[in-house]
Structure 1
């Protein structure tokens, strides 16, 4: 048997994620905590980071790095109330450097929270019924849910199920309340973690709910995806997709992004049992020796899809029903105003790379704060790092339009189809894994590409572009028209040919190149696309058809399913 990774021993001996965190918080000598407690604090939604812009200068001055913590909120489905938004705004101003960051998994991140402010931050979240539990770590991460304003009642139903799923799968340890709320430890009968045990999951586990025809959550990128099946406007259950994941390691050829496979259908009543069964299979059979191979996608590929499906069915006590028909038409957000089926109004605001702060030209944080003070509707963070303000009356719409105008926010939704469909991870200066810029660099790169788009009359063409500062894939760069992943300062891998609906991985076309090579390659592709594309054809589909990717195989879940069916004959 392979030896366990040291992190498995750390988790097992952590007293259910307590470790030495309390003592580390009390240490006045450093802004950091011990390496072991850094790992345990991820389960509490906290990452230790440092400002890499000043790292070298601080080293020269013989100072420790400029440590601060990233705190990620647990926000199932990305929904919060105006009062919760106002608390998030206050905490961002007090402890997060005046910035809120909307993530690609529909939640908020604070950056630069000092160690002595962590308890105040988390207790502030508690005041409005929010927390950071399991926002990171080897557990079930934040549960995603489609944002579709046209289907108001259906969204409410699926969102409620997503929230139930999050509450069901979140770790049950009392460590969080004891450490951050300073409550007394309470004895429990039986195991403190009935699902997770002492060693939790082998790696992170991601769940998402999607409502066709919009695949905004990129359901094929989830470890466990629930695809809502609607008949006569009624939710009858979910198709189950398993084994998605974006992360890869450049130096490890045995790591790769993977799209999930649809394995069957379950009723709404069997939802929580299905979550338990799938997570238990990964808990019990995931690789605990090699963390680079510990995600569910590798368990499936190592054991075989049919074996994993059969094991899930054993734990469920019944066979999954055949998957039902569904179709995706988009994975983006419709910006601006829309009216739902109930007549209420919804407004989606483009937030470039998810960063909300006040700047010299636009006071974005103040503008959204003013809208929240109206105490109207609800806020929804979209999976594309944008912000929707939902369930508004006509009168409230008029008020919001006035506030958008006063704060200059109406102009945010005016941009090229490329810019409005782009995403980036945080990367430098705070992410310790980043090898290149992402959030700070992508806007200027897009400006240069927009000049090409104008020349070829493609300015308004919806093109998905995603950039990450490393190959881990936080902005889902492997399922878009144009993907860029950082390799070194100013150097990136360039990917083309992903499915516009999230149904096909893209492929590497340039490796470890700088801006000049990227622009040169894209210039040629865009010129050919403008000249030779078919009606309604997206850039990724064109790149595949036109031979930019060379001989290739369709790696979509649908294609894999067809191959399996042919093999069975």
Structure 2
């Protein structure tokens, strides 16, 4: 463990988590993945490689719907991988879109493209014989999946529509720079997947270290007043500060994160702390050394307490901040004023400063597939075939057709409407709801999420209509487990899977995404939480103050207490 020197506040006698052994022995993330690829006895990856492929952007999964039937037939689960691409800021060109569309059709089990809350796309259901082809196809069009999973800095999010103004364009450029700066330097990805020339020389990881980070690490760049990337779900956030329309630097927010473990009061979602302002020229140094401090101070014994948020709570934010300043040779200046007033995507057309137009499409659950009466995937392909700009995936699972010249607007909109990509009947509630993938593919899922969300939305819409607030909305999120992928721990109303048909029901987040909700009902089924929601919506409709959101209402009325300091308040 050459890069990790246990601090006195950690137990130097404690045994490291097995993932630390795995990374140490992996030969800079190579392991024996190549040997496993040649193994035709199993469709999966063995031993350490099951974990190591995550650093290459993949998770091993199987179709849990058919697992029992395969077991009866004495067959192993239908192993396959999910791949998450690295797309800083979510920008993808039409020719790239056509390539991933073709691969999804021809070489995945489900045929879909999944837009994710990490502002990128995922392939689901790729069988072992097609994995190498997948990486080589992506490389041929300038895409990779390096460091989109595993104990590294993952895909860097950025406020969408970066060509809407010069400020947005600059923010995107910084997101790309940060992504490149924090990438693993190992040649393992190229050697294994791209037939890169092998080298006997020793790899070096000057930022991540030879044992990489203690846990996953997430970074964003965002422009107030829109908090569409949910900064408080991330370890490191750069909040753009502008003067006269020009980017001058960032407020740096550190230590956000939403994952927790059911029944473990030592785990909790946490908001990020504002460390202060830095001018642009110090951005990469600050990014590097927030990562390096977390690398060296993070908990490598207990992975449930290994995220940056716990490092801050263990050592104190001030001590962490001082160490970053010392290593970077930069002092944080006092934070500049900013405010988040809303989050979410702006649907419909927006005109940019260059006269080009951008169309934001609502994609329920981010699942791009040809559904009955809504051939979304075909529609996106037809648009990509004629589009002269690019696509922008959002952190809310939606898609922007960006850079459309005025003379092409009508054609693009006609294609979108013909293929169900624009539906004027979509309610505000539907647009404000989100779910993780969950069953049948996620191995961590305890309850349904993506497949359940449409019916949950319909029932919620009915409750809003019952109380004469059908034009209103609640930021509603449902996830299959407590790992945080669907960001339910920043919702006004969040359901977190506890078991088949059972959820923990949380209330009290806000529309700006700056407050953690609190447990209201534990391990309940649909009848119970909908009955509670019915009563609460009725009270909100009749007792709210002007423009008061649902989450603010339940806090003001004392229905749940506000979570101010997660470590002490969340489980209280």
User: Smaller-chain TM-score range?
Assistant: over 0.9
Residues 1:112 and 1:438: Cα distance change in structure 2 (over 3 Å): same
1:132 paired residue number: 145
Residue 477 (1) aligns with residue 488 (2): yes
Offset of residue 452 of structure 1: 1.1
Residue 427 (1) aligns with residue 442 (2): no
Q: 1:81-139: per-residue Cα shift (whole Å, max 9, x none)? A: 11111111111112222101000010011001001100101110001100010010000
Offset of residue 556 of structure 1: 9.0
1:186 paired residue number: 199
| Secondary structure of the corresponding residue to residue 246 of structure 1 | coil
2:564 paired residue number: 554
Offset of residue 554 of structure 1: 3.4
Q: 1:483-516: per-residue Cα shift (whole Å, max 9, x none)? A: 1100000000111110211111111100000000
| Secondary structure of the corresponding residue to residue 111 of structure 1 | strand
2:3 paired residue number: none
1:562 paired residue number: none
1:531 paired residue number: 542
Residues 1:433 and 1:323: Cα distance change in structure 2 (over 3 Å): same
Residues 1:81 and 1:546: Cα distance change in structure 2 (over 3 Å): same
1:518 paired residue number: 529
State how far apart, in whole Å, the 2-side matches of 1:399 and 1:304 are: 56
2:391 paired residue number: 379
CA contact (8 A) 2:162 2:170 kept: no
RMSD: 1.5
1:220 paired residue number: 232
CA contact (8 A) 1:216 1:332 kept: yes
1:334 paired residue number: 346
1:293 paired residue number: 305
State how far apart, in whole Å, the 1-side matches of 2:294 and 2:308 are: 6
Q: 1:272-319: per-residue Cα shift (whole Å, max 9, x none)? A: 111111000000010001000100000000000110011011001131
Instruction: Describe how 1:131-150 pairs up with structure 2 within 5 A.
Output: 131-148=144-161
Residue 361 (1) aligns with residue 373 (2): yes
2:513 paired residue number: 502
State how far apart, in whole Å, the 2-side matches of 1:552 and 1:386 are: 30
State how far apart, in whole Å, the 1-side matches of 2:438 and 2:151 are: 21
CA contact (8 A) 1:191 1:197 kept: no
Offset of residue 263 of structure 1: 0.9
Q: 1:401-432: per-residue Cα shift (whole Å, max 9, x none)? A: 12123323321x53222111111000000000
2:173 is aligned, of 130, 138, 160, to 160
CA contact (8 A) 2:518 2:563 kept: no
1:176 is aligned, of 169, 189, 196, to 189
Residues 1:134 and 1:311: Cα distance change in structure 2 (over 3 Å): same
CA contact (8 A) 1:149 1:340 kept: no
| Secondary structure of the corresponding residue to residue 43 of structure 1 | helix
State how far apart, in whole Å, the 1-side matches of 2:299 and 2:374 are: 48
| Secondary structure of the corresponding residue to residue 190 of structure 2 | helix
Structure 2 spans left out of the alignment, 5+ residues = 1-11
State how far apart, in whole Å, the 2-side matches of 1:406 and 1:417 are: 21
Offset of residue 324 of structure 1: 0.4
2:208 paired residue number: 196
State how far apart, in whole Å, the 1-side matches of 2:368 and 2:118 are: 16
1:105 paired residue number: 118
1:439 paired residue number: 450
CA contact (8 A) 2:496 2:505 kept: yes
2:322 paired residue number: 310
1:451 is aligned, of 448, 458, 462, to 462
State how far apart, in whole Å, the 1-side matches of 2:301 and 2:122 are: 31
Instruction: Describe how 1:406-425 pairs up with structure 2 within 5 A.
Output: 406-411=418-423, 413-425=424-436
State how far apart, in whole Å, the 1-side matches of 2:302 and 2:162 are: 42
State how far apart, in whole Å, the 2-side matches of 1:410 and 1:278 are: 42
Structure 1 spans left out of the alignment, 5+ residues = 560-569
2:100 is aligned, of 68, 79, 88, to 88
CA contact (8 A) 1:149 1:339 kept: no
